[in-house]
Amino acid sequence: MKPLALHIWLLLSFSIGFAEVTNSFGAEMENTGELSTGISDLNHRTAMPYARLDNPVKDTSSLKTNMPTIPSALVRKSICLQAAKSDTSKLVPASNFSQTNNLNQLVTKNNFTKSLLKYFVSSPQTQLVQSGVQSIEYFNQFRGKRIASIRFIRLHPFGTSLQDTIRDATRWVDKMGNHLHMNSAKVKLRMQLQFHAGEIVDPSLMAENEKFMRDLSFLEDVAITLEPIEHNEEEVNVVVISKDKFEYAVSMNITADNSDIEVSNVNMFGLGHRLNIGLAQKNAYLPEMGVYASYHINNIFGNFINSTIGFTDTYLKKGWNAQIEKKFLTSKEVNAGGYSFENVSKYNFIAEDHPVKLDTTVAYLTSDLWFLHAFTSQRNQLNKTVFSVRYYHQQYRQTTDDGLGQSEFLRNHDFFLTSIGFSKRNLYKNNLVYGYGVTEDIPYGHYYELTTGLDRSQFGVWPYLNVSISKAIVDRNGNYFAGRIGMDGFVDNGNVKQATIMANANYFSKKFFLFGDPCRQFFKIEFLSGIHRMEEEDLTIDGRFGIRDFYTNDLKGKDRLKINLETVRFLKGNFYGFKFTNYMFSDFAFLSDNLANILKSDFYAGIGTGIRIYNESLLFKIIDIRLTWFPIIPPEQISPFAVNLQGVSRSRFDDFLGRRPEVIRFQ
């Protein structure tokens, strides 16, 4: 790709960004009085034992957080329906909650001690939104009604709450953070809605839209509430309450070998655009500093199309990439697709997401084009039949006589894939699973997929086949069970090669309480086996692939069985918005070159405990501090103990809406 193409793409990206900025500020000026309509009478119709009703209602379209009282629909959504102390669907009235009284019971009567603790530590407010219920349940009571209007309430990141929209920041650090923050533009939030005024309420669409908005990187939490209209039982007003994240972040990773610092803004201009700029250095032998950057545009002009462009020039990688895509966000969508391009002049991996690290650097060009179309059933629109096609091209560039592109593993090839999938997804609303108090929408359902393809290279044309079954359920008590079974491989002259057999299961329990704190148990098991894999491809049990903090160069194989157990306790209170969990874990793994002997092979384990720290209003990764003991030490005699402090990303739930055809990852 010529440098001119990169310049054109950059110009196009920033042009779109500028156009969205101009459009958003124009819309803001046109709609400044939008929220005030019909709000002032809510105080006369809303009974709220937990919210202050004596505050005067001012300009409700203001970006300040002195918002009007909560719409009565949110009261019904939260105070009338609250899960019991376990994750059951049995709903009980929400009791009144006082942070001050609760804190007074926890501390001594010494005024100095009480004041000090109240300044630094705040007890978490009772989760007033529905928890442990199907996400569609709240919206079902408004099924068939017409949407009369849509309004927005936008909350700052610090000191505010979806459960009490008139709550404002009181600590100086919260006020400073809110002052530096730019709230998400109303026009951008409106773009995230898949329903409009005048349409009929679709409960499943609204529940899915709520989840989609909560998944946005610049929003901490979202509640879509419906308010009945007096003297008109056929219509409702929609109120979208959103709480932003603080858009700026700085992350650092400094070790004896390398240094990395990155600055991010995930909500530029209040439009959800994301800019990342980083500096990286290899301390050992390359003292010069390298740079990398990317720019991401979310939901271009309300079409739910995302675009990203980035470049890297560091000791680890040199190259640039561009991507544009539209994924399935709700069950009602019928088309999705995307295209990506990558030009790499130096890298230790075959592709950006390839699991196998090479001993030498490679240079290559890749392009990836895919498209999905879904057919829905009139009887049940949640059931979808998904047809998809994909074309993947990769070509290595040889600068020396290194044989790149001449081996079967590093081959120049064109990969054509097509698949048919059967999908059904529902949503279950909960909290304190992978999050720290925000609402979490848990997908459950199934996705059955059959994929066929052809891989064409200088070594011939290899047919490809993939069969995969994924399923997840949430039982009546709130326990979550998910599993996947898959098998794939190529055929070359009647022989199977690069085949994989995979089976995994994932479970987490309903909430239970220990010393008054909510807890959960997590269990994961995975079996992965390679059949006639390439010599360069191996499995390990290092780190996230098996045993935490376990790293060795000598243990490799083609078959692996791993088991991860974890008990997590979500601690009460927070420190300046930072919340804490402590956990205990046990990791076990078998690794072998012979499937028949995998349970007879050497067994390794890690047992430990740790603390995780996170702030839902910030972009920082979860801070994970842990101590691990290895009861069985491998031959090279690694230390039996490991202490680790690192930033980790939050785990994500598997979804069932449909995806592009892919091979099973052997990693």
Q: Say what the pLDDT of residue 574 is.
A: 84
603 vs 80, higher pLDDT: 603
Q: What is the mean pLDDT of residues 512-540?
A: 93
Q: Say what the pLDDT of residue 403 is.
A: 53
170 vs 202, higher pLDDT: 202
Q: Say what the pLDDT of residue 307 is.
A: 97
For the chain, domains (ranges, CATH) are 31-244 (3.10.20.310), 336-364+374-648 (2.40.160)
Q: What is the signed CA dihedral for 399, 405, 409, 415, rounded to 10 degrees?
A: 130
Q: 259-270 burial, b if ≥16 CB within 10 A, otherwise e?
A: ebebebbbbbbb
Please say if the pLDDT value at position 440 is more than 60: yes
Q: Which amino acid is at 600?
A: K
Q: What is the mean pLDDT of the chain?
A: 81
| pLDDT bucket at 286, cuts 50 / 70 / 90 | low
Phi–psi pair at 49, nearest 5 degrees? -70, -10
Q: Lowest-pLDDT range, 350-354, 363-367, 621-625?
A: 350-354
Please say if the pLDDT value at position 407 is more than 50: yes
Q: Say what the pLDDT of residue 86 is.
A: 38
Q: Lowest-pLDDT range, 142-151, 356-365, 514-523?
A: 356-365
Q: Say what the pLDDT of residue 470 is.
A: 97
For the segment 589-604, what is each residue's pLDDT rounded down to a tens digit? 999 988 888 888 888 9
Q: Residue 189: which of 11, 382, 35, 14 has the closest Cα?
A: 35
60 vs 355, higher pLDDT: 355
Q: Say what the pLDDT of residue 58 is.
A: 33
| pLDDT bucket at 257, cuts 50 / 70 / 90 | confident
Q: Say what the pLDDT of residue 361 is.
A: 86
Q: Say what the pLDDT of residue 402 is.
A: 54
Helix (H) and strand (E) counts for the chain?
Answer: 9, 29
Q: Which of 14-23, 252-261, 313-322 has the highest mean pLDDT?
A: 313-322
Helix (H, G, I), strand (E, B) or coil at 505: strand
| pLDDT bucket at 242, cuts 50 / 70 / 90 | very high
Q: What is the mean pLDDT of residues 349-376?
A: 88
| pLDDT bucket at 253, cuts 50 / 70 / 90 | confident
591 vs 601: CA distance, rounded Å = 7
Q: What is the mean pLDDT of residues 136-145?
A: 92
Please say if the pLDDT value at position 513 is more than 80: yes
Q: What is the mean pLDDT of residues 131-154?
A: 90
Q: Lowest-pLDDT range, 178-187, 275-284, 417-426?
A: 275-284
275 vs 169, higher pLDDT: 275
**What's the Cα-to-Cα distance from 312 to each of 224, 229, 308, 397, rounded to whole Å?**
40, 54, 14, 18
Q: Residue 417: which of 464, 364, 354 has the closest Cα?
A: 464
Q: Say what the pLDDT of residue 235 is.
A: 94
CB of 383 closer than 8 Å to CB of 398: no
Q: What is the signed CA dihedral for 45, 47, 52, 58, rounded to 10 degrees?
A: -10
Please say if the pLDDT value at position 511 is more than 50: yes
Percent of the chain with pLDDT over 70: 78
Q: Lowest-pLDDT range, 88-92, 249-253, 292-296, 356-360?
A: 88-92
Q: What is the mean pLDDT of residues 228-233?
A: 90
Please say if the pLDDT value at position 83 is more than 70: no
Q: What is the mean pLDDT of residues 107-112?
A: 41
Please say if the pLDDT value at position 129 is more than 80: no
For the segment 453-501, what is each residue's pLDDT rounded down to a tens digit? 999 999 999 999 999 999 999 998 899 999 999 999 999 998 999 999 9
- Which tokens sit at 37? 């309509």
- Which tokens sit at 237? 């007003």
Q: What is the mean pLDDT of residues 41-69?
A: 33
| pLDDT bucket at 282, cuts 50 / 70 / 90 | confident
| pLDDT bucket at 18, cuts 50 / 70 / 90 | very low
- Which tokens sit at 82? 């609250």
Q: What is the signed CA dihedral for 64, 147, 215, 6, rounded to 10 degrees?
A: -90
59: enclosing H helix or E strand: none
Q: Say what the pLDDT of residue 64 is.
A: 37
| pLDDT bucket at 287, cuts 50 / 70 / 90 | low
380 vs 340, higher pLDDT: 340
Percent of the chain with pLDDT over 90: 56
Q: Say what the pLDDT of residue 349 is.
A: 85
Q: What is the DSSP letter of 202?
A: -
Q: Say what the pLDDT of residue 614 is.
A: 94
For the segment 179-226, what is each residue's pLDDT rounded down to a tens digit? 999 999 999 999 999 999 999 999 999 999 999 999 999 999 999 999
Q: What is the mean pLDDT of residues 48-54?
A: 29
